[in-house]
Homo-oligomer: A and B are copies of this chain.
Amino acid sequence: MDLATLLGLVGAVGVMIGAIVLGGNVVVFIDVPSIVIVIGGTTFVVLFRTTFAQFLGSFKVAMGAFLHKSVAPTDLIEEAVALANVARREGLLALEGKQISHPFLQTGIGLCIDGHPPEVVQKVLSKDINLTIQRQEAGYGVFKATAEVAPAMGMIGTLIGLVQMLSNMSDPKSIGPAMAVALLTTLYGAVIANAVATPIAEKLKLRSGEEKLSKTLILESISGIQEGLNPRVLEQLLMTYLPESQRQSSGKD
């Protein structure tokens, strides 16, 4: 559970609702046609830009921003060094049947046990990393597209409202409220883009970067294990994945 995402979303929306409620007149902020033009228009244009699969998959992808669980690099390093120790003492085949926590590490060790040469293992694993990142980019691309489209639809809605208001100014008293309604779509578009879509896209991008880092660490471990690198050297190499402050804690191997 990613509490920062949840707290951030709830807090941001809460602050905005608070500002509206404090102003007294909540009802003026709700206008069904404006909601339809911004949310409906954005939905259709995003669908136009993407595919059904991406579009429908985006809800599941968005959940990832709320439910993501990071892997601690220290655990990965510890596990990799332990495996390297076993492999060095008893050979690569001794790794068969070992309980391995991270699926990507397991895949890599599996490829080693199957006896593929190092170049093939490296190629399969690094291809897997790159293509996974590419798929994740397509995933959060839907939210980036939303962040681009929503303000545009908001502006289009405001322009429609302004044209309607300006072409019929017989009643001066209605001008203010009509402009208020016209501005609502711009407000909706700005809120959707800045407080929902962009943060989700940014969080997913950050998680994708973390995953890439973990998998690169694993790739490096597999490479070291297969080449029979000294486990202490491997640990020193993997330690660079940790910030200075966390490096002391392990290293007692």
Interface residues of chain A, those whose CB is within 8 Å of chain B, are 2-5, 7-12, 14-16, 18-20, 22-25, 28-29, 33, 36-37, 40-41, 43-52, 55, 70, 111, 116, 120, 123-124, 127-128, 131-132, 134-135, 145, 149, 152-153, 155-157, 159-169, 176-177, 179-180, 183-184, 186-187, 190-191, 193-195, 198-200, 202-203, 206, 213, 233, 236-237, 240-241, 243-244
Contact = CB atoms under 8 A, between A and B. Distances in A.
A238 to B, nearest CB: 9
B194 A45 contact: yes
Given A51-B206, A183-B163, A22 B33 contact: yes
Contacts of A183: 159, 162-163, 166
B184 A4 contact: no
Given A33-B19, A116-B233, A7 B47 contact: yes
A196 to B, nearest CB: 9
A49 B18 contact: no
A4 B52 contact: yes
24 contacts: A4-B47, A4-B50, A7-B47, A9-B44, A11-B43, A11-B47, A12-B41, A12-B45, A15-B41, A18-B37, A19-B157, A28-B163, A49-B199, A111-B236, A124-B240, A131-B240, A152-B194, A153-B194, A155-B190, A156-B194, A159-B186, A159-B190, A164-B180, A166-B177
Contacts of A19: 33, 36-37, 157, 160
Given A52-B3, A160-B20, A167 B194 contact: no
Which of A3, A24, A50 counts the most chain B CB atoms within 10 A? A50
